[in-house]
Amino acid sequence: MARRIIHIDLDAFFVSVEQVENPELKGKPVVVGGRPEGRGVVASASYEARAFGLHAGMPLTTASRLCPQAIFIQGSFPKYRDASQRFMTILTDFSPYLEPLGLDEAYLDATGFESIYGSTHQMAVKIKQRIKDELGLCASVGIAGGKVVAKVASELSKPDGLLEVAAGKERSFLAPLPIAKLPGVGRKTERKLNGLGINILYELSIMPLSALKSHLGASGEVLHRFANGIDDREVEPPATAKSISRETTFSKDTRDRPLLKATLHYLGERVGAELRQRGKRARCITLKLRYADFTTITRRHSLSQSSDSDQTIFDTGLGLLNKALAEERQAVRLIGIGVSNLVESGKQLDMLDASRERQEQLDRAIDRIRKKYGFTAIQTGRTLKLKDVFPQSDEGYTLQTPSLSR
Ligand code: TTP
Ligand code: MG
């Protein structure tokens, strides 16, 4: 049976949640991200704000210059997390084959569901309607034979869209689109391909594979398949979800090592808490830094043993930080830490090691207290420095990158 994959993505998610709570914001240029004079970036912009050129990732100062009348909202992550959970719950009513991507996006495998809903198109209409009725939010939906084309279709249909690519028409649907529309073609790849005279997906799809591989390495092969509309990746349920990360932008670029360390420690604790809550351990730790000139680097370290301990996350992150700071003299604008290569928690052989066992017990005891009294109820000595830097609430410190203050 031909596969039918649905990709669904909520429109201007953070902003729309704010508009449901405060209907006066509807139809206006609204930005979630922080104060216009702040140093963070736009997390979400309403479509009215986008008409002025605003988009996610744009510095807030630029956004307020382009659209001074925009309404700027700090945002609150717990609110978006709740809306996201309700959104995912609606989707699981339609298909158990659900792969959430971040908070406001998911793939559904709808193969074989035609008989229940009449058609995949009808199923998508019903999903959109329930989201509208129960959450007050608009969603855009793409339907195709594989994930990548479904995602391109939903993006193209925004806002409040529904676009189905008929079976077998994937390649011709993609052909006229600019290469940047294809997930996996980032800025760098786009520039490289443009340099080779490749501007639309048709040109990418007919490029000899060997030439593409010599320019892009292994990812060339995947992009070639995608450009030809070929994508047989399965819809993977959330148990196999891949990474957890936290990051924040400082209110002033900084070289202050104790501050960088304390922030890294706090972010690492947030990552560790979620990792344990999900019952996972990580094999890989990644540090992210953005410097004053916006250059962004990531540095990765693979652990010999998977871990879910705050101490290991922090120690590894700190090792990466020290190395990165030795290589680059610029001040730091943003710092983040993440874990990936997640595996199910389970006792490991070296859990017999007494010091590790103690560390595990300590992490879990702290998790329990925090669950009851709030994240900052317990603070390790290393993060106390943050008291003077970030405002505090029960949920923890309110970081500059509000979407990530969780
Ligand atoms: P997106 O789905 O990329 O953006 P969006 O929902 O605001 O707008 P649309 O889908 O209609 O284009 O991201 C979902 C949410 O994730 C977004 O509302 C805010 C958050 N986010 C950030 O915090 N930072 C970012 O850089 C991006 C892209 C999103
Ligand atoms: Mg969205």
Enclosing H/E stretch for 107: strand 105-109
Shortest CA distance to 380 belongs to which of 269, 274, 236?
Answer: 269
Q: What is the pLDDT of residue 4?
A: 97
**Residue 219 — pLDDT band, cuts 50, 70, 90?**
confident
Using DSSP bridges, classify how beta strands 139-144 and 162-164 pair: parallel, antiparallel or unpaired.
Answer: parallel
**Does pTM top 0.85 for this prediction?**
no
Is 31's C-beta closer than 6 angstroms to any atom of ligand 1? Answer: no
More confident residue, 55 or 278: 55
Where exactly are the structural domains of the chain? Answer: 14-76, 171-227, 243-405
312: which 2 tokens?
A: 């290991």
Asked whether 9 lines ligand 1 (CB < 6 A), one says yes
User: Could you confirm whether 221 is annotated as catalytic?
Assistant: no
Average pLDDT over residues 291-306: 92
Q: Tell me, which fold does domain 171-227 have in CATH?
A: DNA polymerase; domain 1 (1.10.150)
* 95 burial level (CB within 10 Å; 0-12, 13-18, 19+): buried
User: Is ligand 1 within 6 A of the CB of residue 56?
Assistant: yes
Of 131-135, 194-198, 370-374, 401-405, give the lowest mean pLDDT range.
Answer: 401-405
> How far, in Å, CA of 204 to CA of 44, rounded?
31
- Output the pLDDT for position 350: 46
Q: Does the pLDDT at position 215 exceed 50? A: yes
- Rounded-to-integer distance, Cα 91 and Cα 127, Å: 7
Place of tokens 């699981």: 92
Residue 243 has, within 13 A of its CA and on its CB side, a CA count of 12
73-82, 194-203, 294-303 — which one is most confidently predicted on average? 194-203
Q: Tally the C-alpha atoms within 13 A of residue 136's C-alpha that lie toward its C-beta.
A: 12
What does the pLDDT average to over 287-316?
Answer: 93
Predicted confidence at residue 404, as pLDDT, reads 42
pLDDT per position as a tens digit, 311-355: 999 999 999 999 999 998 899 999 999 999 998 776 444 444 666
Mean pLDDT of the 269-277 span: 91
């928690």: which residue's tokens? Answer: 345
The yes/no answer on whether domain 14-76 falls in CATH 3.20.19.10 is no
Q: Does the pLDDT of residue 385 top 70, yes or no?
A: yes
At residue 129 the predicted structure's pLDDT band, cuts being 50, 70 and 90, is very high
Sign of CA dihedral 34, 28, 87, 148: negative
137 lines ligand 1 (CB under 6 A): no
Q: How confident is the model at residue 381 (pLDDT cuts 50, 70, 90)?
A: confident
How high is the pLDDT of residue 36? 87
Alpha-carbon distance of 158 to 140, in angstroms, equals 6
Smallest CA separation from ligand 1 atom 23, residue: 43
Whole-angstrom distance, CA of residue 8 vs CA of residue 136:
16
C-alpha count within 13 angstroms, C-beta hemisphere, residue 361: 8
- Ligand 2 centre distance from Cα of residue 157 (Å): 12
Element (H, E) at 79: helix 77-94
Closest by Cα among 120, 119, 177 to 143? 120
Task: Give me the pLDDT at residue 277, please.
Answer: 83
Give me the architecture of the 243-405 domain, per CATH: 2-Layer Sandwich (3.30)
Ligand 1 near 177 CB (within 6 A): no
Residue 402 clears pLDDT 50, i.e. is over it: no
The mean pLDDT of 363-373, rounded to a whole number, is 78
Cα distance between residue 37 and residue 60, in whole Å: 7
Distance (angstroms) between ligand 2 centre and the Cα of 311 equals 34
- Which residue type sits at 278? R
Among 18, 48, 99, 105, the active-site one is 105
CB of 46 closer than 8 Å to CB of 15: yes
Q: How confident is the model at residue 366 (pLDDT cuts 50, 70, 90)?
A: confident
| Mean pLDDT value across the chain | 90
From CA 220, how far away is CA 198, in angstroms rounded?
A: 13
The pLDDT-based confidence of 394 (bands split at 50, 70, 90) is: low
- Tell which one of 8, 44, 140, 154 to mutate to probe ligand 1, the residue whose CB is within 8 A of the most ligand atoms: 44
